Structure 1
Amino acid sequence: MTHIVTESCIECKYTDCVEVCPVNCFHEGPNFLVINPEECIDCGVCVSECPAKAIYLEEDLPKNQKQFSKINLELSKKWPIINNSKPHKKDANKWKKIKKKLHLLKYKNE
């Protein structure tokens, strides 16, 4: 089993979760983080560190977030590993309250 980063992370991209990960399974995109499911050891320490409450155990994913299993797998193979926290975006607190952000996901640095 693995943990999955979901829609709530889009445009927030807090990196508190990255700092506590013992296996460096997080990957960073332009406006989103993903977890490599092949590297995640299912420790769960990242879940409580996420201010956007965007990380779920895969089996506990809400139905409307199931597509993020595939998104995490695919993008973790393309994006670089991030293993240190960074300052979050200035408007991250605004974005964490917004729902339905999948259309805003950036797949490439533009």
Structure 2
Amino acid sequence: MTYVIAQPCVDIKDKACVDECPVDCIYEGPRKLYINPDECVDCGACEPVCPMEAIFFEDDVPQEWSDFRTADTEFFAELGSPGGAGDLGPVERDHPVVAGQPVPAA
């Protein structure tokens, strides 16, 4: 089990969770942050600091955002486990679930 960052993070990316993560497993895409399920140690430090309340334990993701469980996992299918988001830097693509989210009005 792991934590998942859901829809409220799309186009917000506050990054308080990144600062709190002791294992540097929260990676940045163009529109959303992603938790690497292979690197996450399930400590839960990220969840309470998220001002958008976008982080959920995998089994607790609300039904309307259940596709974000798959998005976070599949995001790392090609990327693998680089061993730390800080060394890798931002990834230049989002998962299709995230890329397909409506863009906020200006």
Same fold (TM over 0.5): yes
Structure 1: stretches of 5+ with no match in the other structure: 84-100, 106-110
TM-score by length of 2: 0.73
**Aligned-pair identity (%):** 38
Q: Specify the code of the residue in structure 2 equivalent to 1:53.
A: E
Q: Distance in 1 between matches of 2:79 and 2:14?
A: 20
CA RMSD after TM alignment: 2.4
Aligned residues: 89
- 1:14 equivalent in structure 2: 14
Q: Specify the code of the residue in structure 2 equivalent to 1:41.
A: V
Q: Specify the code of the residue in structure 2 equivalent to 1:6.
A: A
Structure 2: stretches of 5+ with no match in the other structure: 87-98
- 2:72 equivalent in structure 1: 72
Mapping of residues 1-110 of structure 1, within 5 Å: 1-76=1-76, 77-78=78-79, 82-83=85-86, 103-104=101-102
Q: Distance in 1 between matches of 2:100 and 2:5?
A: 12
TM-score by length of 1: 0.71
